[in-house]
A and B are shown apart, each in its own frame.
Chain A
Amino acid sequence: MTQTDTLTPDFPRISPVGIAGLLVSFADSLSEPANRAALAFRAAIEADTLDGIEEVSTSLTSTFLRFDPLHLDHASLTAHVKNLLKAQDWTRAALPEGRRHFRIPCVFGTDLAPQFDEAAKAAGLSAQAAIDSLTAARPRVLTIGFAPGQPYTGQLPKEWDIPRQTALTPRVPEGALVVAIRQLIIFSAPTQTGWRHIGQTAFRCFRPESDEPFALRPGDEISLWAIDAEALENIRTTDKSGQGGAEIEVIR
């Protein structure tokens, strides 16, 4: 990620979500500083001890607070959040501690990932150039969301700024690598989606039976290496950990 635009004057922006949520947005398009700000602000709210806050989470460029509106009113919470926002430049905050790099084997294209050719074409790349570009990238987990443990990673080079499809693909399997808007996702469960299915991994983002049910955390980085269908099948039969053949190293 190279984008370092400063935030526009409209941000941070505070808006209600339902009756029991407050969203603090740092940008309305993805940027590295806005993502960094969202993660740091979440940590600050978690360290804070305001009564009535029940949960804090992040999405790509925002921090979400869930609270009990019968015990903490919107006006008080908004004032509190505004004060906290002024405390520092959140876009320059440090990334979370203990980040890791996951190297994940992946089958690109074939009948396992039928939209690879279409996505490469939309990116203006040949099949080989698309694989080269995707395996050279080292996107960061920007947020976990949509489904349990599911990472949104980015950002890919500009040519991958391809829109989601208007129609949904009815079912893409667990471990699917999908692409849109300069981001990669590995699906944690079978789902319908507007993102294009370009690769298939055996990586399980969500392992409910494990002591560590959620494999990835915001701040972690992933990279992919190309394997064929036979190798993937081999991983599936030999690796029952859910790691899908991934190699993990701590980022220092």
Chain B
Amino acid sequence: MNRALIIHRAGPQVTVQDKGRAGLLGQGLSQGGAADPVALAEGAALLRQPADYAALEMAGMGGSFEVAMETRIALTGAPMQASIDGQALAWNASHLLPAGARLEIGAAMRGNYGYLHLGGGIATKPVLGARATHLAAGIGQALRQGDCLPLDDDPRTEVGMTLDPEPRFTGGTVRITRSMQTQLFAPDMLERFQTTTFARDARGNRMGARLEFDGDPFAASGQLSILSEVIVPGDIQMTGDGTPFVLLPECQTTGGYPRIGTVIPADLPRVVQAGQGVTLRFEVIDLSDAVEAQRRFVAALDKLPATIRPLLRDPTQMQDLLSYQLISGVISGHEAEEQGN
């Protein structure tokens, strides 16, 4: 029997995601890939496999899954209620999913996008160099009951590891840089933008997140005659009615609405994972500070494999595990050996 993941039930938007397809902007195809790249990296670290392996992204709601052969799994991103044959599982951790057992993943308790990673990675046929579903471009589609995904061989056996997730589920201040159109917004408008409190509209998707706020609309001068211009993920586009949209991995590659600024990659997961009741503020920073923040962000992701440690399986601690206050102070005993990068 081949290694495979069987989908018995799936939430409305469960998709295969990896790092996406870079390099096709000139053909009109945005990179796509995991909405929360940090979660993708965390899962790869927990399973000690390459960061470009494909995983399942679950928007708001998980599903019911089974594997044909015993498979290592890891759960990252927005914490969701998870269990194997009724036994609760810690989030931000790796586990062994026995053949035929039922993995149930429920609704997100915080944040928006949860991830199920599989040992060996999902081995669907790449399209244009990647496995990522790009819903906006019609590459792949959301998974449904009865779907079955092939998995690659997994040379490793280690499970029961955990890590402290990068904090990104509670909103807060999001750093932005000026865009080529920031100067179209009057200085006091840009100032008001930075003192306004925003909430992510629950209808957000992989293309973009609409931000709700109290106050007058934000408008640029000459807004309706701006030429369509290149878009990068993180751009904050001001639509005709003066509401900001933060553009995400499946955004269009060009657009004619003015951009007030661009969220730095290190802070974009905060926007992606801003769930209900969470508020966001924006702060304009200098480009040089943004590049420095990127340096630290990349270094932190590179270091993730060195931060994983055994998950203590003490039943008296299970309640704490379920509320995601993971045990602190555990000595791993065998510190990660090869993560020198």
> Which of B58-66, B101-109, B194-202, B254-262 is found at the contact surface with chain A?
B254-262
Contact with B along A42-63 (1 / 0, CB 8 A): 1000000000001111111110
* Chain B residue nearest to A22 in the complex (CB): B180
A11 close to B (CB within 8 Å)? no
> Which of B146-154, B158-166, B229-237 is found at the contact surface with chain A?
B229-237
Which of B138, B239, B240, B290 lies at the interface centre, i.e. has the most chain A CB atoms within 10 A of its CB?
B138
B178 close to A (CB within 8 Å)? yes
Bound CA span A213–B128, Å:
9
Contact A18 B177 (CB under 8 A): yes
Query: Which of chain A's residues have a CB closer than 8 A to the CB of B137?
Result: 147-148, 189, 206, 208
B28 close to A (CB within 8 Å)? yes
Contact B138 A29 (CB under 8 A): no
Contact A64 B136 (CB under 8 A): no
Chain B nearest CB from A1 CB (Å) reads: 15
B29 close to A (CB within 8 Å)? yes
Contact A189 B265 (CB under 8 A): no
Bound CA span A189–B128, Å:
17
Interface size class of B (residues with CB under 8 A): 35 or more
Chain A nearest CB from B247 CB (Å) reads: 10
B294 close to A (CB within 8 Å)? yes
Bound CA span A145–B128, Å:
17
Contact A70 B298 (CB under 8 A): yes
Contact A64 B235 (CB under 8 A): no
Query: Which of chain A's residues have a CB closer than 8 A to the CB of B23?
Result: 54-55
B138, B180, B239, B240: the one contacting A16 at CB < 8 Å is B180
A16, A42, A148: the one contacting B24 at CB < 8 Å is A148
> Which of A86-94, A103-111, A164-172, A223-231 is found at the contact surface with chain B?
A164-172
Contact B291 A145 (CB under 8 A): no
Query: Which of chain B's residues have a CB closer than 8 A to the CB of A188?
Result: 28
Interface size class of A (residues with CB under 8 A): 35 or more
Query: Which of chain B's residues have a CB closer than 8 A to the CB of A23?
Result: 180, 229-230
> Which of B75-83, B220-228, B324-332 is found at the contact surface with chain A?
B220-228
A115 close to B (CB within 8 Å)? no
Chain A nearest CB from B297 CB (Å) reads: 10
Contact A144 B230 (CB under 8 A): no
Chain B nearest CB from A206 CB (Å) reads: 7
Query: Which of chain B's residues have a CB closer than 8 A to the CB of A15?
Result: 179-180
Query: Which of chain A's residues have a CB closer than 8 A to the CB of B192?
Result: none
Contact B25 A57 (CB under 8 A): yes
Please report the number of residue pairs spanning A and B whose Cβ atoms sit closer than 8 angstroms: 148
CB under 8 Å from chain B, chain A span 133-148: 143-148
Chain A nearest CB from B287 CB (Å) reads: 6
Given A74-B287, A208-B128, A147-B139 contact (CB < 8 Å): no
A25, A69, A145, A213: the one contacting B180 at CB < 8 Å is A25
Chain A nearest CB from B24 CB (Å) reads: 7
Contact B224 A145 (CB under 8 A): no
Bound CA span A16–B182, Å:
11
Query: Which of chain B's residues have a CB closer than 8 A to the CB of A152?
Result: 228, 254
Chain B nearest CB from A182 CB (Å) reads: 11
Contact A19 B28 (CB under 8 A): no
Contact with B along A144-183 (1 / 0, CB 8 A): 1111111010000000000111111000000000000100
A99 close to B (CB within 8 Å)? no
Bound CA span A189–B138, Å:
8
A61, A143, A147, A168: the one contacting B252 at CB < 8 Å is A147
Query: Which of chain B's residues have a CB closer than 8 A to the CB of A16?
Result: 177-180, 287
Bound CA span A69–B293, Å:
11
B24, B227, B291: the one contacting A59 at CB < 8 Å is B227
Which secondary structure dominates chain B's binding surface?
Answer: loop
B253 close to A (CB within 8 Å)? yes
* Chain B residue nearest to A46 in the complex (CB): B26
Contact B291 A164 (CB under 8 A): no
B338 close to A (CB within 8 Å)? no
Chain B nearest CB from A193 CB (Å) reads: 10
* Chain A residue nearest to B134 in the complex (CB): A148
Chain B nearest CB from A138 CB (Å) reads: 21
Contact A164 B230 (CB under 8 A): no
B27 close to A (CB within 8 Å)? yes
Contact B224 A166 (CB under 8 A): yes
Chain B nearest CB from A158 CB (Å) reads: 14
B136, B232, B240, B298: the one contacting A168 at CB < 8 Å is B240
A242 close to B (CB within 8 Å)? no
Given A59-B228, A213-B128, A164-B256 contact (CB < 8 Å): yes
Bound CA span A172–B254, Å:
17
B186 close to A (CB within 8 Å)? no
B27, B227, B256, B291: the one contacting A148 at CB < 8 Å is B27
Query: Which of chain A's residues have a CB closer than 8 A to the CB of B99?
Result: none
Bound CA span A147–B180, Å:
21
Contact B180 A42 (CB under 8 A): no
Query: Which of chain A's residues have a CB closer than 8 A to the CB of B239?
Result: 168
* Chain A residue nearest to B135 in the complex (CB): A189
Nearest 4 CB-CB pairs, A to B? A57-B26, A145-B254, A166-B240, A15-B180
16 more contacts with CB within 8 A, not counting A55-B25, A57-B253, are A16-B178, A16-B179, A16-B180, A19-B265, A20-B265, A144-B27, A145-B28, A146-B28, A146-B253, A147-B253, A164-B256, A189-B138, A206-B138, A208-B127, A208-B138, A213-B27
Can you list 7 A-B pairs, Cβ within 8 angstroms, ordered by A? Answer: A17-B232, A20-B265, A62-B230, A143-B228, A145-B28, A206-B137, A208-B127
